[in-house]
A and B are shown apart, each in its own frame.
Chain A
């Protein structure tokens, strides 16, 4: 059993991480943090630096959690999160969701939406505090 967090190094990812960590403490399960990129641009702001990953890992471990971080380059980010959820027999997937216009969604696609629709387990969609 695990709780999977789809993480990005921004306010949305932080919110997901905070809620995921709280859930993991409450349910006493392992926490799996996924931060992936398609790697199709020279720079991807949603892909965390190695030292950011190290920082959140040590922070979560200090809180006594059993943390695994999946930090990788994948063909499809949503797919990668879903696969990790399947693999680790996730009880819950936590995603941060942002507002997007319909046009933006059609053009850019939405990782959060695909996770919501395709996950086989409950999904917790969170927003950063306003």
Chain B
């Protein structure tokens, strides 16, 4: 029990000294700010990359298309495939190092990264994009192909079909995936300390290097990350509900064609085949009574 009290005291001590300021980027709160900005910007850019890859990957082609178009489309698919496999298949922390130090290396130090922000956003976005590309592809193929046909049948092109019919629905379906990616980004941006990006976890590393209070600081980090991800989950749920729209609609006036029982018109009306005709009812009654129609052998 004493341990808990001590932990509480230590955490309070750390917080009162190093809480920092959310807006000027200092202390714990500043780290939280940087983490959130990086995660948010990278998720948005990543989603755009994913959408573009997903759309490019699902452009249909038929045997009737000119060979050049087919060649280009196949090439695009291969390029997207390689991009996805490379960035999904290597650790993000390694990608960060690779890209951050790769640029000066290849240009003989002529070109440096303008800021660690630019490098971090690029790495996390490209990484998110690789995951989103597959999610978007899944979202697109989950929309029943009939709707694509419906759109084509009224003369829409592939881009029109995608933008006005398929993507709005696919986007709704992949919202949980986008949320997943955002939450993963909130946590995984912590590896960006490797290229000296000062987000939430980097501040912890800096601080414990100074005062050795490893565990209390880690506890603050735990609470901080959990608060961010829980808030993100709540906001995402709310957004999903908003996207679903209202379940109710208003009738503008009464519908004349939908029948109230027995009042509709149909081609059989007035013939013995009309289910509501006397003959048909009599026939049904007879069949129920005798098992078959009278006079039928």
Q: Is B a genuine binding partner of A?
A: no
